[in-house]
Structure 1
Amino acid sequence: MGIDAPLADRVFETGVAMMEGLSIYLGDRLGWYRELAAVGRLTPAELAERTHTQERYAREWCEQQAAAGFLTVDDGGVSGGGGAGPRFGLDAEGVAVFTDVRSTDLLAPFVRLVAASAVQLPALVEAYRHGGGVSWDQLGDDAREGQADMNRPWFEQVLPGELAGVPHLHEALGRPGAAVADVGCGYGWSTVALARAYPQARVVGIDVDGPSVERARTIAAERGVENVELVHSAGEDVEGGPYDVVFLFECLHDMPRPVEVLTAVRRSLSDGGFVVVMDEAADDALTTPADLVQRALYGFSTLCCLPDSLSHPGSAGTGTVMRRPVLERYAHEAGFKDVTDLPIEDFGFWRFSELR
């Protein structure tokens, strides 16, 4: 780029990063990362043979990934030399970032979610120009699986310990016969995590997306969790109450009618019951330039969450960047009096709020 042209340099770097992100998608979907994590260093020919893919593409991808710093390479990375050629592999950090479903550093699903929006760019242009939106169903399995797989390690590995660290919440969940709802459960990783952490509770997962509910049922069955029920229903109709605790994990900002949902949730509560909303930790006001987390939230909002919400007529159009005052307004309009932050920190880029 030109001399003293920092914006041009940044836009060029952004374009390169976009191409590298799409190459991550290829490696994720073709199983190349997983094969390298399972086997170790491989030549492109070996990688292609083991994954039933094309060697020429595998070679170009391996070299590109090494050039980007994602894969390690032996022989100094010199291709075309003698012998079988260089071997490519993943170091421990690469395994965690690209393949380990238990790691909170897993980020390949993040790229999968972004790719789902990229496929819909023509539809997004039309929505931005003429109104309407792009629904979750249009975004498809890349979006469903991307969000679910990105959140899974946080729910499985981190959530139980964090809940145990909030005494009144832990006590309510641990009470024999406690009734718990997980509204907007998606693939049900949060529902299953709650049920396993509190086996004496009855946990009901509710989601409006039929394919997600079916997948959640399969996941719960595969893990032998019996104190779970998965229900296909809109959030405005919270079945199976009264509930002692209702969770909404990273979903309220997506809902086209958040006040109606919170009103239904409030009516489903038992005496003394309360609600926990986990949503993105958006800053209380716009800051420019923003940090990387706030920029990521706006990225999700412009490409995925806001278009999905606006695909429903009469939507509130919240978007991913749901600031505290917005959540408080929704809660008060739904009949809640108190909205307080729970002492759960360092949980990704999310914030936990309690509604009473």
Structure 2
Amino acid sequence: MTTKTDEFADHLLQAALGTIEILAIHLGDRLGWYRALAEQGPAGPAELAVRAGGAERYAREWLEQQAAAGILEVAPDGRFALPPGVAEVLTDRSSLAYLAPLARMLAAAATQLPALENAYRTGGGVGWAAFGTDMRESQADMNRPWFEHALPDALAGVPDLDALLRRPGARIADVGCGGGWSAIALAGAYPEATVEGVDIDAPSIELARRNAAGLGDRVTFRRRNAAGLGDRVTFRCGDAAGLGAGRYDAVFAFECVHDMPRPVDTLAAARRALVPGGAVVVMDEAVGDAFTPDADELERLMYGFSLLICLPDGMSEQPSAATGTVMRPGTLRRYAEEAGFTGVDVLPISDFGFWRFYRLRL
């Protein structure tokens, strides 16, 4: 075999090991086994099954696999322990390092491989609803820490935008709000404002309403009351066309424009919805300006999301711009200009996860 053959064979083997670990993490996350280890300490198979449920024999295989992969540690008494740093990544829903939902998202995509294959053959799509609850909740859960802990300071660092959002009685629209954490964060950061979250996916709107009410989440309930959200954040099922004209001081679109079959229509509706002097802000993936082979890990990850989730979702409704996750800045600029904006500025917000913030010029 050639050196290149050996290298790629090893590359594929490492990818297979990573896939196995992602799916095993998904199982441990959904079964509650990581949380049981994080909250109650080391356990053997029988203890883990008693604490969190599940079959002891499967628990033993999973614990051993996790230790073989270097995720769990084995204590001197033979029980399995979850190290604190790993526990933060897999169980701490408030941490910016929380990535367990990534495994859940990829597992949800994997269940749709037959439908994805058909879409690839026919040019059709696989809509967001087809991916189910795991996909919907995983995206909300993975973005939540960034919206809760980083978004207020990020926006405060853009003085003119921050001043706009602090206007007494300011009205903010959050288009494509998903599980609602972005709208909740905006309402918490700007106590004089009201925020309306809009999404075409009815189950996402129901999830957003539950999240805003803090149902099943004592931490969210306390934060909601402390922030005085009251009725200042609301959610409705619909699209940007329902925003109306001249009603909002700001319209946000967080990580959703690349999914839309007709992004120009959405951006044009957002523009019409503004009061004089208002702002449209788009947060989307921080990909490079142009395609390059042998790309960095961020580009590879975004292409993965696009192949399995976002491009098929965007193509599930026709006609479609078929953007995909890897929406280059030039693509957004073109969409914005076709929607009637004069240009696009990149906001001075850095180190914000996978994302970049754009302000569309009126």
Instruction: Pick the TM interval, shorter chain.
Output: over 0.9
Instruction: Note the C-alpha offset of 1:241.
Output: 5.2
Which position in structure 1 is the counterpart of 2:42?
41
Q: Which residue of 1 aligns with 2:354?
A: 349
Select between 223-232 and 167-176 the one with higher mean Cα deviation: 223-232
Specify the alignment match of 1:128 in structure 2: 120
* Pairing 1:89–2:81 present: yes
Work out whether residues 179 and 241 of structure 1, in 8 Å CA contact, stay in contact via their aligned partners in 2. no
Other-structure match for 1:59: 60
SS of the residue aligned with 1:237? Answer: helix
**Separation in structure 2 between the aligned mates of residue 65 and residue 3 of structure 1, nearest angstrom:** 32
After TM superposition, the score normalised by the length of structure 1 is 0.95
Q: Distance in 2 between matches of 1:262 and 1:46?
A: 54
**Alpha-carbon deviation of 1:169?**
1.1
Q: Which residue type is aligned with residue 22 of structure 1?
A: L
| Residue identity matched to 2:301 | A
Report the equivalent of 1:292: 297
Q: How many aligned residue pairs are there?
A: 347
Assess if the C-alpha contact under 8 Å between 2:23 and 2:107 holds in 1. Answer: yes
Find out whether 1:8 has 2:13 as its counterpart: no
Aligned residues with identical type, % of pairs: 57
Deviations for 1:129-171, whole angstroms, at most 9, x for unmatched residues? 1121111000011110110000000000111111111111111
For each residue in 1:285-317, what CA deviation from the matched residue of structure 2 results, as whole angstroms up to 9, or x when unmatched? Answer: 111100000000000000000000101010110
Cα distance between partner residues in 2 of 1:34 and 1:235: 39
C-alpha distance in structure 1 between counterparts of 2:294 and 2:8, whole Å = 13
Rounded Cα–Cα distance in structure 2 between residues aligned with 1:316 and 1:173: 31
Q: Does 2:302 match 1:301?
A: no
C-alpha distance 46-291 of structure 1, shift in aligned 2 (>3 A) = same
Corresponding residue of 2:176: 184
Cross-structure match for 1:111: 103
**Which residue is equivalent to 1:212?**
204
Q: Secondary structure at the match of 1:353?
A: strand
Answering whether residue 68 of structure 2 is matched by residue 99 of structure 1, we say no
Q: Is the 8 A contact 2:314 2:324 kept in 1?
A: yes
| 1:23-66 deviations in Å (ceiling 9; x for gaps) | 00000000001111111111121001111211110011011011
Q: Aligned letter for 1:38?
A: E
Aligned match for 1:157, one of 149, 163, 166: 149
How far the C-alpha of 1:2 sits from its partner, in A, is 8.8
Tell me if the contact between 1:208 and 1:235 (Cα under 8 Å) persists in the aligned partners: no
Which residue type is aligned with residue 113 of structure 2?
L
Matched, 1:138 2:130: yes
Residues 94-146 of structure 1 show CA distances to partners (whole Å, capped at 9, x for unaligned) of 11110101111111101111111100001101110112111100001111011
User: Partners in 2 of 1:241 and 1:148 — Cα distance?
Assistant: 29
Letter in 1 for 2:66: Q
Say which SS state the counterpart of residue 275 (structure 2) adopts: strand
**1:78 paired residue number:** none
> How far apart are 1:266 and its partner, in Å?
0.3
2:31–2:53 contact (8 Å) kept in structure 1: no
Q: Distance in 2 between matches of 1:193 and 1:242?
A: 21
* SS of equivalent to 2:197: strand
Tell me how far apart the structure 2 counterparts of residues 235 and 60 of structure 1 sit (CA, whole Å).
49
CA distance in 1: counterparts of 2:79 and 2:147, whole angstroms: 36
Q: Which residue of 2 aligns with 1:73?
A: 74
**Which amino acid letter does the alignment assign opposite residue 272 of structure 2?**
R
Asked if residue 172 in structure 1 is aligned to residue 167 in structure 2, the reply is no
Task: Kindly indicate whether residue 329 of structure 2 is the aligned counterpart of residue 324 of structure 1.
Answer: yes
2:143 is aligned with what amino acid? N
Distance 2:309 2:96 in 1: 22
Confirm whether residue 257 of structure 1 aligns to residue 249 of structure 2.
no
2:21 maps to 20
Does structure 1 retain, via aligned residues, the 8 Å contact 2:240–2:266?
Answer: yes
8 Å contact 1:242–1:268 — kept in the other structure?
Answer: yes
Root mean square deviation of aligned Cα: 1.4
User: Does residue 282 of the first structure (1) align with residue 287 of the second (2)?
Assistant: yes
User: C-alpha separation between the residues in 2 aligned to 1:2 and 1:98?
Assistant: 40
Say if 2:244 and 2:272, in contact at 8 Å, map to a contact too. Answer: no
Which secondary structure state, in structure 2, belongs to the residue aligned with residue 177 of structure 1? Answer: coil
Give the match for residue 230 of structure 1. 235
